[in-house]
Structure 1
Amino acid sequence: MTDVLENDRVRAVIDPGRGARLVSLELDGHEVLGRATDPSVDPAIADGCFPMVPWAGRIRDGVLLVGGAEHQLPLADDGNALHGLAHAAAWQSLGEGAYELAIGPPWPTEGVATLTYALLDDGLRIELSWDDDSESPCSVGLHPWFRRQLDVGEPAVWPLDAGAMVERGNDGLPTGRLTAPHPGPWDDCFRLSSAPVITWPGALELTLSASTPWWVVYDVPETTVCLEPQTAPPDAFGHPGLQPTGGWPRGVWLELRGRAL
Structure 2
Amino acid sequence: DPVTDEGCYPMVPWAGRIGAGHVAWRGDTYVLPVAGDGNALHGLGKDTTWEHVGGGAFRVALGRPWPVEGEATVVYEPRDHGLRITLTWHSDTNDDDLGCSVGIHPWFRRSLTRGGTLQETLSPITMVERGTDGLPTGKLVPPGPQPWDDCFTLGSPPVLEWPGALRLTLTSGADWWVVYSGPRDALCVEPQTAPPDVFVHPDLHPRGPWPREIVLDLAAEMLE
Q: Distance in 1 between matches of 2:107 and 2:47?
A: 16
Partner amino acid for 1:167?
E
Cα displacement (A) at 1:69? 2.1
Matches within 5 A, 1:215-230: 215-230=177-192
Partner of 1:250: 212
| C-alpha contact 1:193 1:213 (8 A) present in aligned 2 | no
Partner amino acid for 1:153?
G
Alignment of 1:69 with 2:28, yes or no, is yes
Partner of 2:173: 211
| C-alpha contact 1:126 1:254 (8 A) present in aligned 2 | yes
Alignment of 1:94 with 2:56, yes or no, is no
Alignment of 1:190 with 2:149, yes or no, is no
Partner of 1:83: 42
Matches within 5 A, 1:51-70: 51-70=10-29
Q: Distance in 1 between matches of 2:185 and 2:116?
A: 13
Partner of 1:24: none
Higher mean alpha-carbon deviation, 98-107 vs 243-252, is at 243-252
Per-residue CA distance 1:76-110 (angstroms, 9 max, x = gap):
11111101101121101001000000001110001
Listed as ranges, the gaps of 5+ residues in structure 2 are: none
Matches within 5 A, 1:43-192: 43-133=2-92, 134=94, 135=96, 136-192=98-154
Q: Distance in 2 between matches of 1:244 and 1:64?
A: 19
Partner of 1:39: none
Q: Distance in 2 between matches of 1:84 and 1:109?
A: 13
Partner amino acid for 2:199?
F
Partner amino acid for 1:91?
W
Could you tell me the percent identity over the aligned residues? 55
Partner of 1:239: 201
| C-alpha contact 1:187 1:217 (8 A) present in aligned 2 | yes
Partner amino acid for 1:164?
T
| C-alpha contact 1:232 1:244 (8 A) present in aligned 2 | no
Q: Distance in 2 between matches of 1:243 and 1:62?
A: 20
Cα displacement (A) at 1:229? 0.5
Cα displacement (A) at 1:161? 1.0
Cα displacement (A) at 1:44? 1.7
Aligned residue pair count = 220
Cα displacement (A) at 1:241? 2.2
| C-alpha contact 1:62 1:81 (8 A) present in aligned 2 | yes
Per-residue CA distance 1:51-82 (angstroms, 9 max, x = gap):
00000000001011122321111111111110
Per-residue CA distance 1:3-52 (angstroms, 9 max, x = gap):
xxxxxxxxxxxxxxxxxxxxxxxxxxxxxxxxxxxxxxx22211110000
| C-alpha contact 1:205 1:260 (8 A) present in aligned 2 | yes
What RMSD in Å do the two structures reach over aligned CA positions? 0.9
Q: Distance in 2 between matches of 1:116 and 1:163?
A: 30
